Amino acid sequence: MIEVAGLSRRYGGAVAVADVSFRVGAGEMLALVGDSGSGKTTTLKMINRLLEPDAGKVVIDGRDAASLDPHALRRSIGYVFQGIGLFPHRTVAENVAVPLRLAGWSRDRTCVRVAELLALVELDPALAARFPAELSGGQQQRTGVARALAASPRVMLLDEPFGALDPLTRDRLQRTFGELRRRLGLTAVFVTHDVAEAVVLADRIGVMRSGRLLQLGTPAELARSPADDDVARLLDTPRRQARLVAERLEARS
């Protein structure tokens, strides 16, 4: 369970995040959506202290994150990075094994666990000895997810995990991840600018703008009673696009 209260952060004079508070229940997935610069990634990075907040606090499973060793904190939280975030000089298997190595696992146990993780994210075991540069974008992102899951964290943070993928791969990976999360009972916060993705994957959605959390609720709640016109338009976008797509496709046939 993650509890964020009054989180604020400035860069120089500019406010990046202002007084953001929310709770993510155990096993729940929260999506933070908003334009670039709305503060969603900054919020995410303050949860595992990749960035330190100027004010406010983060409580994870009842413990104040500020009171924990930052390295230990990060090791206990799975993190899927925007873009690639894999170590280019390490093979797939070694990348996945990084959190295990940091946790001091033995070589044999690590081997078994890596094989298990590759199966979990549906990666061909033959790819284990490849380097990231030799993989497709989808395979790279599966590797990233496997690495985030390696040390069996109960909390996951995902920063636009599927942003750079082609639509088919993205669709497949979203489904894989959705199933995994439910099966493993993970508590997760993920950042995206793709409202459709948020609607499909998340239990609840937080809409951010100019560093503030504008509205928080289930997709249905947001659609039913949007806080303002912007939120209404935002939630309507996927539907509008879907309609447009359907029309064009039918017009052609």
Partner 1 sequence: MREQLALLPEYLSAHVRLTLLALAAGVLLAVPAGVLVSRVRALEAPVLGLAGVIQTIPALALLAVMVPLLSALGLPGIGVLPAFLGLVLYSLLPILRNTVTGLHAVAPAVIEAARGVGMTSRQRLFQVELPLALPVVVAGIRTATVWTVGMATLSTPVGATSLGNYIFSGLQTRNSAAVLTGCAAAAGLALTLDGLVRTAATGIERRQRRPVAAAALGLLALGAWAWAAAPRGEGHAGRTVRVGGKTFTEQYILAEILARSVRATGREATVVAGLGSTVAFDALVRDEIDVYVDYTGTLWSTVMGRRDPAGPRARVLEEVRLWLLERHAVVLAAALGFENAYCFAVRREMAYSLSLRSLIDLARHAGTLRLASDYEFFSREEWRAVESTYGLAFRERRTMDPSLLYQAIAARQVEVITAYSSDGRIASLDLVTLEDEKNAIPPYDAVVLVGPRIAREDPALVTALRRLKGTIDETRMRALNRLVDEEGRSAGAAAEEFLGSSPAAFMRR
If you write DSSP's letter for every residue of the chain in order, what string do you get?
-EEEEEEEEEETTEEEEEEEEEEE-TT-EEEEE--TTSSHHHHHHHHTTSS--SEEEEEETTEEGGGS-HHHHHHTEEEE-SS----TTS-HHHHHHHHHHHTT--HHHHHHHHHHHHHHTT--GGGGGS-GGGS-HHHHHHHHHHHHHTT--SEEEEESTTTTS-HHHHHHHHHHHHHHHHHHT-EEEEEES-HHHHHHH-SEEEEEETTEEEEEE-HHHHHHS-SSHHHHHHHHHHHHHHHHHHHHHHHH-
Cβ count near 83 (within 10 Å): 14
Q: How far is the CB of 8 from partner 1 (least distance, A)?
A: 21
The nearer residue to partner 1, 64 or 228, going by C-beta atoms, is 64
The nearer residue to partner 1, 190 or 235, going by C-beta atoms, is 190
The nearer residue to partner 1, 26 or 72, going by C-beta atoms, is 72
The nearer residue to partner 1, 83 or 137, going by C-beta atoms, is 83
Q: How far is the CB of 99 from partner 1 (least distance, A)?
A: 6
Q: How far is the CB of 88 from partner 1 (least distance, A)?
A: 7
The nearer residue to partner 1, 47 or 235, going by C-beta atoms, is 47
Q: How far is the CB of 194 from partner 1 (least distance, A)?
A: 20
Q: How far is the CB of 208 from partner 1 (least distance, A)?
A: 21
The nearer residue to partner 1, 156 or 222, going by C-beta atoms, is 156
Q: Which residues of this chain interact with partner 1, rule CB under 8 A?
A: 48, 50, 71-76, 79, 81-89, 98-99, 102, 147
Q: How far is the CB of 84 from partner 1 (least distance, A)?
A: 7
